[in-house]
Amino acid sequence: MITIMIHILPKKDILDPQGKTVLRALNNLGFHEVEEVRMGKLIKLNVNSNNETESLEACKRMCDELLINPLIETYTMEVVHA
């Protein structure tokens, strides 16, 4: 079993109203050192395989075909070893 975490964020040039709202709230609470907030998604996939390379390639296809909107989102993947 391989666990892969997929981190999805809006592209830099895409407006992130949720991130702006959280940034304003943090600043209002006194956390003035926070300069930017980007809100995204985290997807955890448990893949029934022992081949890390093939699993990452399959997850990349999943992202490209279904899990993300390539027009407005970017993603990174990482294998999590428990």
- pTM here is 0.85
pLDDT at 32: 97
pLDDT at 81: 82
What is the distance in angstroms between the CA of the first residue and the CA of the last residue of the chain?
A: 11
Of 42, 61, 55, the residue nearest 1 (C-alpha):
55
Which residues fall within 8 angstroms of residue 35, CB to CB, at 6 or more apart? Answer: none
Per-residue model confidence as pLDDT tens for the chain (82 residues): 999 999 999 999 999 999 999 999 999 999 999 999 999 999 999 999 999 999 999 999 999 999 999 999 999 999 998 6
Give me the residue spans of the domains in the chain: 2-80
pLDDT at 2: 95
Fold designation for 2-80:
Mth169; Chain: A , (3.30.1280)
